[in-house]
């Protein structure tokens, strides 16, 4: 599965998986069904109302056509890069270089959509491109990523934590998967210039969320120990709860 790297506001590189072709096709089918339901509804209303003047017919035609043509643009603008189909399949539009797509990027994707639908040209481009990009995405500098969690954090780290691991901080169980994922990202972000500052800040947040003092450990050692304790504990007991104020992790 292809991935793209997006740098967060905290200078932490988060890797997102590109949405699979199957998810995108199912999302497209759901969107087509939504549009078909909209058309059928208004056709039924048209026959029930039986408008007898041209103005009423024009109004109904406009009400029918506008949502059909602007559906994807309106949904992506109002639903954070998702249509109804994309939301159902847990995928969304994202900028390839990180960050939230702009109005211009959404608009460009929408304008090129008819070309993508011409004899399935967009599908062919996605298959060839390998980065989840149709023609509209290539032009706008966007792609479609998945929000699904393919593997759990404890599964990806379990091999690194030995069965005989001795838990030093049992309070680590108070962390959530999202918080532990952020710790993992900070520890793994070796290319950022302020890595040590980030680790100090993260260590402070972990202490505040769990009540662990750290026993004088340096930030990196403290975070490594807490993460291993968390993986060991949740692998047996399940995750606990806790909150980092102002932090959010979107890694799948």
Which of 17, 4, 19, 9 lies closest to 182, judged by CA?
Answer: 9
**Pairing assessment for the beta strands 13-17 and 91-95 based on DSSP bridges:** unpaired
Cross-strand bridge partners of residue 145: 18, 92
Q: What confidence score (pLDDT) does residue 187 get?
A: 83
| Lowest model confidence (mean pLDDT) among 5-19, 111-125, 128-142, 219-233 | 5-19
Neighbours of 230 (CB within 10 A): 31
Residue 181 has pLDDT above 60, yes or no: yes
Residue 89 has pLDDT above 80, yes or no: yes
Q: What confidence score (pLDDT) does residue 82 get?
A: 94
Across 5-19, 82-96, 138-152, 175-189, which has the greatest mean pLDDT?
A: 82-96
Q: What confidence score (pLDDT) does residue 36 get?
A: 92
* Mean pLDDT, rounded, for 59-76: 87
209, 242 Cβ separation under 8 angstroms: yes
Q: What confidence score (pLDDT) does residue 239 get?
A: 39
Identify the band that residue 141 occupies on the pLDDT scale cut at 50, 70 and 90.
very high
Cα-Cα-Cα-Cα dihedral sign, residues 231, 236, 238, 244: negative
Write the pLDDT tens digit of every residue in 217-245: 899 999 988 988 888 887 644 434 444 44
Mean of the per-residue pLDDT values for the chain? 79
Q: How far apart are CA 77 and CA 86, in angstroms?
A: 13
Residue 105 has pLDDT above 90, yes or no: yes
Residue 2 has pLDDT above 80, yes or no: no
3-state secondary structure of 209: helix
Write the pLDDT tens digit of every residue in 122-131: 888 888 887 8
Q: What confidence score (pLDDT) does residue 246 get?
A: 42
Going by the DSSP 8-state scheme, the letter that residue 222 receives in this structure is H
């Amino acid at each position: 599965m292809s991935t793209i790297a997006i740098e967060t506001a905290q200078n932490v590189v988060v890797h997102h998986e590109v949405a699979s072709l199957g998810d995108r096709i199912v999302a497209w089918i759901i969107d087509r069904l939504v549009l078909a339901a909209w058309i059928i509804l208004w056709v039924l209303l048209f026959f029930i109302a039986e408008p007898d003047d041209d103005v009423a017919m024009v109004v109904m035609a406009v009400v029918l056509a506008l949502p059909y043509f602007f559906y994807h643009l309106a949904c992506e603008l109002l639903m954070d890069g998702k249509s109804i189909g994309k939301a159902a399949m847990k995928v969304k539009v994202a900028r390839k270089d990180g960050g939230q797509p702009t109005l211009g990027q959404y608009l460009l994707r929408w304008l090129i959509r008819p070309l993508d639908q011409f004899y399935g040209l967009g599908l062919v481009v996605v298959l060839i491109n390998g980065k989840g990009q149709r023609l509209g995405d290539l032009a706008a500098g966007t792609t479609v990523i998945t929000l699904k969690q393919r593997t759990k954090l404890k599964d990806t780290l379990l091999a690194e934590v030995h069965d005989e691991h001795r838990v030093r901080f049992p309070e680590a169980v108070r962390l959530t998967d999202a918080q532990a994922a952020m710790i993992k990202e900070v520890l793994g972000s070796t290319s950022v210039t302020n890595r040590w500052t980030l680790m100090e800040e993260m260590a402070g947040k972990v202490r505040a969320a769990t009540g662990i003092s750290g026993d004088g450990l340096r930030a990196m050692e403290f975070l490594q120990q807490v993460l291993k304790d968390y993986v060991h504990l949740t692998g047996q007991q399940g995750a606990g709860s806790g909150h980092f104020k102002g932090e959010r992790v979107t890694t799948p």
